[in-house]
Structures are given as C-alpha cells and as structure tokens.
C-alpha cells in the first residue's frame, strides 16, 4: 500500500495492530477502514512516543462546489421583493448544490417574455418561494441576473398561509389544497 492513493469509504486500509487510525478512518474488527473519499496519507510516529505505529489517514481534497454561469439553470429561494425586482438566494446549479453563498436578482423585465410592462413582482413571487431560473449574466459584484421568462422557468414550490405545499393550477396561479385559496404566481411549467 502506498500513500497518495485515492481511497473510498469502507475500503480496508490495514490492520489496527500496524497503524494508528487518524482522521478520515475508523477501526472495526481490528481493521482500519476509510470513512471518506480522499487521499491516503501515512505519518510516521514521533520518536519520543512509546507507540511507534505510523498514523494512517484519509484526507479530503477541497471540494469545489457548483458555480452559476450564464446559460445555466439554477434553483433559488426568493428572499425579498421590491417593486421592480426580486432578490433570491441560489441553492443549486443544475442538480448540484452550491457550497458558497450566491445571490440572484430577477428584474421585472426578466420575469416573463410577453407583456413585460404589465409584470407585477408581488403577483409573480412571494418570499420563500422556490424558483427555477436561468442565469442570464454575471450581473454586478453583488448578484447574478436571473430570468424566468421561459415556460419551464418560474415558481416550482410555494407554501400557502395554511402551511401546505401549493399546487399549480395554471401558468399564473397556485392553489392551497387545504383551503382552496388561489394565489397569483409566475408558475414554472412541469418538465
């Protein structure tokens, strides 16, 4: 066995009688196993300690999270509404969760493709809504510019005042299954 090889969880690394289990490992039935995906490292024991077994560990490489880029579809949570835009926190890029915090802005002109001048932000989104949107540009230093102007983009999940998950009834309304109350939204077409 040589150091600097990739190991996966559950892989046997050696006997507990030969190695001290370090970070990223565990001992079970007198064997040392990997508990994370990463590189195998062996560290010799210090000369002044009684136990002269080397320490075996598996260290994770720094994982790079997903990063929004123009043209990618993201999932975001609406955090604030303003008369001309909605602020959102990006939680996924495609199917991958983000590790860092990214902010998005959906401007009034980017909510839908037609009748842009008639868009009311307060009838398109509500704080807490989960939306599917496309990154249209890197925006400014604070936020990405997002668009919901395609049919498959818009609100994918919303919670009613009664606390229930709302169901879409049209491209511009969602309904509470408990109270039957309808609320306006820019609903994403189910794909």
pLDDT over 90 at 144, yes or no: yes
**In-domain check, residue 66:** no
Residue 91 and residue 45 in one domain: no
**In-domain check, residue 131:** yes
Residue 111 and residue 165 in one domain: yes
Residue 86 and residue 180 in one domain: yes
Whole-number pLDDT of residue 2:
55
Q: What is the CATH number of the domain that holds 162?
A: 2.40.50.140
Residue 50 and residue 83 in one domain: no
pLDDT (tens digit per residue) in 79-110:
999 999 999 999 988 888 787 889 999 999 99
Residue 33 and residue 82 in one domain: no
Domain stop point among 59, 84, 99:
59
Domain stop point among 59, 81, 97:
59
Whole-number pLDDT of residue 64:
58
Q: Please, which pLDDT band fits residue 117 given cuts at 50, 70 and 90? A: confident
Mean model confidence pLDDT for the chain = 86
Q: Please, which pLDDT band fits residue 184 given cuts at 50, 70 and 90? A: very high
Structural domain boundaries enclosing 160: 73-184
DSSP labels, the chain? --SS-EE-TT-EEEETTT-EE-TTEEEETTEEEE-SSEEEEEEPPPTTSS--PPEEEEEPPPPPPP---TT-EEEEEEEEE-SSEEEEEEEEETTEEEEEEEEEEEEGGGS-SS-GGG--HHHH--TT-EEEEEEEE--SSS-EEEE--STT-EEEE-B-TTSPBPEEEETTEEE-TTT--EEE--BPPP-
Q: Who has greater pLDDT, 89 or 2?
A: 89
Residue 90 and residue 31 in one domain: no
Q: What pTM was estimated for this model as a whole?
A: 0.65
Number of domains composing the chain: 2
pLDDT over 60 at 136, yes or no: yes
**In-domain check, residue 142:** yes
Task: Please compute the mean of the pLDDT values over residues 140-153 and round it to a whole number.
Answer: 88
Residue 44 and residue 11 in one domain: yes
pLDDT (tens digit per residue) in 16-51:
888 888 888 888 889 988 888 788 888 887 788 888
**In-domain check, residue 64:** no
Residue 170 and residue 125 in one domain: yes
**In-domain check, residue 68:** no
Q: What is the CATH number of the domain that holds 25?
A: 2.40.50.100
Residue 52 and residue 121 in one domain: no
**In-domain check, residue 190:** no
């Amino acid at each position: 066995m040589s150091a600097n090889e990739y190991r996966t969880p559950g892989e046997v690394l050696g006997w507990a009688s030969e190695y001290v289990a370090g970070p990223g490992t565990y001992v079970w039935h007198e064997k040392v196993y990997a508990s994370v995906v990463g590189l195998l490292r062996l560290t010799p024991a210090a000369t002044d300690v009684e136990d002269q077994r080397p320490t075996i560990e598996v260290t994770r490489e720094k994982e790079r999270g997903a990063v929004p880029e123009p043209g990618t579809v993201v999932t975001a949570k609406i955090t604030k509404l303003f008369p001309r835009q909605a602020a959102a926190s990006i939680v996924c890029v495609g199917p991958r969760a983000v590790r860092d915090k990214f902010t998005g802005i959906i401007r009034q002109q980017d909510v839908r493709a037609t009748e842009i001048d008639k868009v009311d932000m307060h009838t398109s989104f509500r704080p807490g809504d989960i939306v599917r949107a496309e990154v249209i540009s890197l925006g400014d230093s604070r936020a990405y510019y997002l668009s919901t102007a395609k049919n498959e983009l818009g609100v994918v999940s919303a919670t009613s005042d009664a606390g229930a998950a709302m169901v879409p009834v049209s491209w511009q309304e969602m309904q509470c299954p408990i109270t039957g109350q309808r609320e306006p939204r820019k609903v994403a077409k189910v794909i």
